[in-house]
Amino acid sequence: MNDNLHRILIKGGITSPGELKDSITILEAAGLKEVYFGSRQDLLFPLQDIEEKQLEGISKFNTDIISDRSYQNIVCSYLSADILGMTHWLQGSTYLYVLEAFDYLPKLKINITDPKQRLVPNFSGNLNFIASNHEDYWYLYLKFPHWKNGTYYPVLIYSWDIATISKAIEEVYDDIDNVDDLFFILNKKLDTNNKAIEKELKIPFKTFPYYEGMNKMGIDQYWLGLYWRNNKYDLNFLKDFCGFCLDNSIGTICITPWKSFIVKGIKSESKPELERFIGQKGINIRHSQLEMNWHVPVDDKEALELKKFLVRSFDQNDISTYGLTFGISNDPGKRSHFSSIIIEKNTQPSIVKDFDVRPTYNVLYFEKFDPNTQIYKAYARDVDKIELPGLLMELSKEYFNQLGEDNESVKKVKKQVKETTKEVYQCKSCFTVYDKEYGDYKNNIEKGTSFDKIPETYTCPVCDGPKSYYQKTMLHVAE
């Protein structure tokens, strides 16, 4: 990432249309036309020859422009509440109350997440609060910069103590090298409502979700995901979009760690107008998941070109990456990635810095291709760019080969059941399958009707996605 970028920290990635419009006004006053979204759910942008305080004086919401890299934004999975899998007690309002209690600007990276979702990383922070099955209690996984290994705090943390404990840890962690000492000091210093840990945290593997387009939310609401492949968000569009949200009583806009944003709670009556607005602006909401499951450094043209090269190779070879995520890194040895597979660019030796030398890359992946395992494995080292597509395709096949291998009941069933395959069509938004054997009674499509005979006006019975959202795939069927 470009270290010269300034930031507007958006706590938890949650902002209101009014606050975001206020930030846009500041950026426009600085002469900017675009803004980047950061992996920690913040806004990033270049600033030159303009005083930060001068711009902050424009703000109606006391917006702070941060140039000091030592301060960190708080990451949270509020954006996934009510639209993706969620812990039974963890509501959107819980995140808001917890975030509101933070009355200081953290220097440690803090993550507050639901383990039953995959869109927001659980372990990319220094303090990682992860919801337990006990209502209002969280595991705390500690991963300080000066500690060789991360470890769990010995008790569960109460929701309303998260901010207090985070602040207290920040005041003392520099001089502490083990969790027992930290626990002893905090116990003496604070009066908190801890709870004993009854069992270790086990996070089930979740495939990476498709997070773009208009999707059903509850009975009569929708949520919208928007993604720009170059992560350059036009300020004029964002300002107009904020105006639409204000006019239609949409209260929050959420930035994701994948350089996109999600808007929840769109009323059914507002959906047609929003679709017309997006169409008039020429916004594409039908990107392939092949390119949406990538995490690329901000404002890095070389990394973006490498991603395009690799995605093109996948597409040309009809390679599926469903459930996988990929990351590109210019920081060898970094251990806070949250993609299944990482392409790591090696630093060139100083002896050749004055020569035009082709870069080399390492290919790493997480055990079981699950970032929550936090166990890195090396697949290839010091390879040329031209070798990467083949290596990543091999890894993708390994991922599908190992799926379900650790499930004993699955192993037994596989031995006993023979499978055949048949051609079906699947909605890329919600993964609903159309099988001509059954038709679609909700849309009055008779059994035996092949997909190409369905009217072009056909929409998905679950998410209302158009016919063009459906892609041909092979379905495994037990005989």
pLDDT in tens, 197-222: 999 999 988 889 999 999 999 888 99
pLDDT band with cut points at 50, 70 and 90 for residue 359 = confident
pLDDT mean over 446-474:
85
Judge if 8 and 100 occupy the same domain. Answer: yes
pLDDT surpasses 70 at 367: yes
**Domain boundary pick from 402, 435, 454:** 402
Residue 410, pLDDT score: 40
Cα 324 to its chain centre, rounded Å, is 12
Return d(Cα 7, Cα 4) in angstroms, integer: 10
For residues 150-182, b (16+ Cβ closer than 10 Å) or e, as one string? eebbebbbbbebbbbbbbbbbeebeebeebeeb
Instruction: Classify residue 357 as exposed, middle or buried by CB count within 10 Å of its CB (0-12, 13-18, 19+).
Output: exposed
Residue type (1 letter), 278: I
Instruction: Give me the CATH number covering residue 341.
Output: 3.30.413.10
- Is 164 contained in some domain? no
Number of domains comprising the chain:
3
pLDDT mean over 312-338:
87
Return d(Cα 449, Cα 440) in angstroms, integer: 9
- Is 318 contained in some domain? yes
Instruction: Classify residue 68 as exposed, middle or buried by CB count within 10 Å of its CB (0-12, 13-18, 19+).
Output: exposed
Better pLDDT: 56 or 358: 358
Residue 475, pLDDT score: 66
Instruction: Give me the CATH number covering residue 239.
Output: 3.90.480.10
Q: What are phi and psi of 25, to 5 degrees?
A: -60, -40
Candidate from 16-30, 100-114, 136-150, 395-409 with smallest mean pLDDT: 395-409
- Is 407 contained in some domain? no
Judge if 282 and 299 occupy the same domain. Answer: no
**Using alpha carbons only, what angle is made at residue 211 by residues 377 and 297, rounded to the nearest 5 degrees?**
50
Residue 478, pLDDT score: 46
Return d(Cα 150, Cα 49) in angstroms, integer: 41
Q: What are phi and psi of 144, to 5 degrees?
A: -75, 150
Asked whether 206 and 118 are in contact (CB, 8 A), the reply is yes
pLDDT surpasses 80 at 348: no
pLDDT mean over 462-470:
82
Judge if 298 and 385 occupy the same domain. Answer: yes
pLDDT surpasses 70 at 471: yes
Task: Tokens for 202, please give them.
Answer: 């086990």
CA quadruple 274, 279, 283, 285: dihedral sign: positive
227: β partners: 260
Would strands 294-295 and 326-329 be described as parallel, antiparallel, or unpaired? parallel
For residues 90-113, b (16+ Cβ closer than 10 Å) or e, as one string? bebebbeebbeebeeebebbbbbb
Instruction: Give me the CATH number covering residue 439.
Output: 2.20.28.10
pLDDT digits (tens, 9 = 90+) for 305-318: 999 999 999 998 88
- Is 198 contained in some domain? no
Residue 308, pLDDT score: 94
- Is 250 contained in some domain? yes
pLDDT digits (tens, 9 = 90+) for 108-165: 999 999 999 999 999 999 999 999 999 999 999 999 989 988 999 999 999 999 999 9
Judge if 253 and 274 occupy the same domain. Answer: yes
- Is 391 contained in some domain? yes
Portion of the chain with pLDDT greater than 90, in percent: 62
Judge if 369 and 321 occupy the same domain. Answer: yes
Domain that holds residue 461: 417-478
pLDDT digits (tens, 9 = 90+) for 256-286: 999 999 999 999 999 999 999 999 999 988 8
- Is 398 contained in some domain? yes
Q: What are phi and psi of 19, to 5 degrees?
A: -65, -40
Query: Mean pLDDT: which of 60-64, 233-237, 346-350 is highest?
Result: 233-237
pLDDT mean over 412-433:
65
Judge if 381 and 430 occupy the same domain. Answer: no
pLDDT band with cut points at 50, 70 and 90 for residue 332 = confident
Residue 417, pLDDT score: 44
pLDDT band with cut points at 50, 70 and 90 for residue 413 = very low
- Is 446 contained in some domain? yes
**Domain boundary pick from 250, 265, 287:** 287
Residue 47, pLDDT score: 77
Average pLDDT score, the chain: 88
Judge if 59 and 108 occupy the same domain. Answer: yes
Judge if 56 and 97 occupy the same domain. Answer: yes
Judge if 3 and 112 occupy the same domain. Answer: yes
Residue 126 makes CB contacts below 8 A (sequence gap 6+) with: 108, 109, 110, 142, 143, 144, 145
Return d(Cα 22, Cα 287) in angstroms, integer: 29
Residue 246, pLDDT score: 94
Task: Give the C-alpha distances (Å, rounded to integers) separating 320 from 191, 291, 317, 380.
Answer: 51, 11, 9, 21
Residue 406, pLDDT score: 62
Better pLDDT: 334 or 398: 398
**Domain boundary pick from 369, 402, 435:** 402
Judge if 266 and 303 occupy the same domain. Answer: no
Task: Tokens for 375, please give them.
Answer: 């166990």
Residue 414, pLDDT score: 45
Judge if 297 and 241 occupy the same domain. Answer: no
pLDDT band with cut points at 50, 70 and 90 for residue 442 = confident
pLDDT mean over 320-348:
87
Asked whether 344 and 337 are in contact (CB, 8 A), the reply is no
Residue 299, pLDDT score: 87
Judge if 394 and 440 occupy the same domain. Answer: no
46: how many CB neighbours lie within 10 A of its CB? 13
